[in-house]
Structure 1
Amino acid sequence: MDELSKLFQDLMAFAAVVDAGGFNAAGARFGVPPSRLSRSVAALENKLGVHLLVRTSRRFTVTDIGRRTYEDAVSVRAQLQGAAAAASDSRGEPSGLLRVLCPMALASALVGRIAIEFMSRYPRVKIVIESTDGRSRPFVAPADLAIQPSLQPLRDSSLVARRLANAHYVVVSAPGLAHEIPEDPGPTDFPCFPAVGWTFFPDPAHWSLHHSRHGQHEITVDVRFSTDNLLLIREAALAGLGVAQLPHALCRQDIEEGRLRVIAPDWAAPQVGVYVLYPSRRALTLAGRRFIDALEEGMASLERDMR
């Protein structure tokens, strides 16, 4: 049993390293020295008699047999998580650790508050929120749930994807830019706009906007600052660097208090779907299921407020 236990530990260490994309990243995520993870992977390779990783001074690549071994390790881990979830659920009360991946701006605007209220309701639950930039990325093992914005419906047979809400975006600027922007701009008026770009979109300088009379137009704007962080885009807009597309929920108070104003109100910015992803319902704990319910309730309430 000791040998089997060591094999399992080394296998999980290998999966963690592949998930994180490196020994240092895995060490930081799990609080384990990278040197210990390296020894575990080396011991696993020695035990199996194969090379799972090809290491260089800067990075590593996963071999073909390493990829198959990783998939087996993920399967074993999912079965163990499922067994633990079933045991936890038998108590009838949400409990345990819940790890959530969430875009930083969404965590600040809504999900963090929902998590705090959820933990007050269910004191046996511990929640860890890891911030992301909102881009799609492989689902990593330490996370139970991933909250993912997307311009297109998500289709991945390996994951369950539930749509939580539509994020409504508005085109805003600081009041100081008012003199540079026409009251009712046409499609050709947009290129003169100084703009703040969001790298979530394929090209931050090309905006897709829809007008009730002019129809759909691809607008080219003069991007002076761009970032993958919506919180920084909001700060840049507040500082008057340019026009920005922002979720209404993120800038509603700024609009109400006059720090930002909606420009070109007849032009509709794209709606971005907000999804929650998880590997399978079988491996999702009662805490995870209840938290998804809380997310749906919170986002539905926010959508009603936006109307």
Structure 2
Amino acid sequence: MDRWQGMQVFVRVAESGGFAGAARALNMSPPAVTRAVAALEARIGARLLIRTTRRVALTEAGARYLEDCRRILAEIEEAEATAAGAMATPTGTLTVTAPVQFGRLYVLPVIGEYLDRHPAVAARALFLDRVIDLVEEGADVALRIGDLPDSGLSAIRVGGVRSVVCAAPVYLERHGTPREPGDLSHHTIIGRSDRATVAEWRFGPDRRRAVAVRPRLVCNTIDGALAAALDGRGIVRLLSYQVAPALAEGRLVRLFEAQEGPPMPVHVVSPEGRRAPAKVRAFVELAVERLRADPRVNPQAG
């Protein structure tokens, strides 16, 4: 087995957390995988993995070598893809992940336009209200809301969204309109959580003012909390993009707008940046253009 293949095996073992998983993924026998890693360690002269009965873990040298292997293998794949034309023409399957409602409202239309433009590409929409590891889940592009941790991912900011307190006009007619956040203690609150506990809503440009609220109704989904608010069941706090259609239609009224906290950034994230294949670069360019032009995602566009 040559050095390039040995690197592939090592990377797969590290990502799978074991020799058996790597063997299945590579269609090799576990002994062959073990021999390949041992040969690589012998060639390098350093131990890369710590073996236990259940899984393997990277040594310090192994962690550094894993990063180098990923970079080298990516460069080899890029060279091969360039020769085959994949870097020039979008082909293959593109996987895009985003929060559920954001994906449905704002990302799905972009995917539809992208597919119209590039008939040689198929798309997979992975809409989840949790952050996933792009490499482990096999995703090409992610839409992320909130501050990003330091990582090797390429990120382009396309806008920002705020936490918005709102209620239906029928609720405000029945119970009055709160004038400032402290008035919330006298109103019915709809909680957006899976735990029926006291919630703390923060206000102001520095988010230092904390107001404790006791939800009377708690919904574990955004759609549930939004539906309850539209039905006049109470005051809810959701992200601005989640309530934008209802606010535009007058079905909800925005409260305390002057006391809202700073916006949370929205980024288009991909793991390969400029070295990404054409299918990824084409989607990122389109998504950035469309989302930056949407005032519901990027208020400055309005």
Q: Are residues 133 and 60 of structure 1, via their aligned partners in 2, closer, same or farther at CA, if it must alter by over 3 Å?
A: farther
Aligned length: 287
5+ residue gaps, structure 1, are none
Q: Deviations over 1:127-167 (max 9, x none)?
A: 333334354x65526333332211x4x47363332111122
Q: Please name the residue that 2:240 is paired with.
A: 248
Equivalent of 1:196, from 174, 191, 207?
191
The 3-state SS of whatever aligns with 2:135 is coil
The 3-state SS of whatever aligns with 1:303 is coil
Q: Please name the residue that 2:44 is paired with.
A: none
Letter in 1 for 2:103: A
Contact 2:91 2:279 in 1 (8 A): yes
Letter in 2 for 1:186: E
The 3-state SS of whatever aligns with 2:67 is helix
The 3-state SS of whatever aligns with 1:82 is helix
5+ residue gaps, structure 2, are 42-46
For normalisation by structure 1, the TM-score amounts to: 0.71
Q: Are residues 91 and 130 of structure 1, via their aligned partners in 2, closer, same or farther at CA, if it must alter by over 3 Å?
A: closer
**Counterpart check, 1:183 vs 2:184:** no
Q: Please name the residue that 2:156 is paired with.
A: 162
Q: Deviations over 1:178-227 (max 9, x none)?
A: 4685414323212445232369xxx992222238xxx9632222245365
Q: Are residues 41 and 90 of structure 1, via their aligned partners in 2, closer, same or farther at CA, if it must alter by over 3 Å?
A: closer
Q: Deviations over 1:224-268 (max 9, x none)?
A: 5365x6445535645767533333333333345565443445543
**Counterpart check, 1:10 vs 2:9:** yes
Distance in 2, Cα, partners of 1:38 & 1:169: 52
The 3-state SS of whatever aligns with 1:302 is coil
Q: Are residues 48 and 8 of structure 1, via their aligned partners in 2, closer, same or farther at CA, if it must alter by over 3 Å?
A: closer
Equivalent of 2:279, from 283, 287, 293?
287
Letter in 2 for 1:166: G
Equivalent of 2:226, from 206, 217, 234?
234
Distance in 2, Cα, partners of 1:128 & 1:37: 28
Q: Please name the residue that 1:225 is paired with.
A: 218
Larger Rg: 2
**Counterpart check, 1:208 vs 2:202:** yes
Q: Are residues 94 and 51 of structure 1, via their aligned partners in 2, closer, same or farther at CA, if it must alter by over 3 Å?
A: closer
Identity level (%): 24
How far residue 124 of structure 1 moved from its aligned partner, in angstroms, is 1.6
Distance in 2, Cα, partners of 1:300 & 1:36: 44
Contact 1:99 1:143 in 2 (8 A): yes
Q: Are residues 89 and 261 of structure 1, via their aligned partners in 2, closer, same or farther at CA, if it must alter by over 3 Å?
A: farther
Contact 1:53 1:66 in 2 (8 A): no
The 3-state SS of whatever aligns with 1:123 is coil
Distance in 2, Cα, partners of 1:174 & 1:60: 55
Distance in 2, Cα, partners of 1:198 & 1:276: 26
The 3-state SS of whatever aligns with 1:140 is helix
Q: Deviations over 1:253-298 (max 9, x none)?
A: 3345565443445543542210122344342223322212211222
Q: Are residues 253 and 37 of structure 1, via their aligned partners in 2, closer, same or farther at CA, if it must alter by over 3 Å?
A: farther
Q: Please name the residue that 1:140 is paired with.
A: 135
Distance in 2, Cα, partners of 1:296 & 1:253: 21
The 3-state SS of whatever aligns with 1:98 is strand
Distance in 2, Cα, partners of 1:69 & 1:204: 47
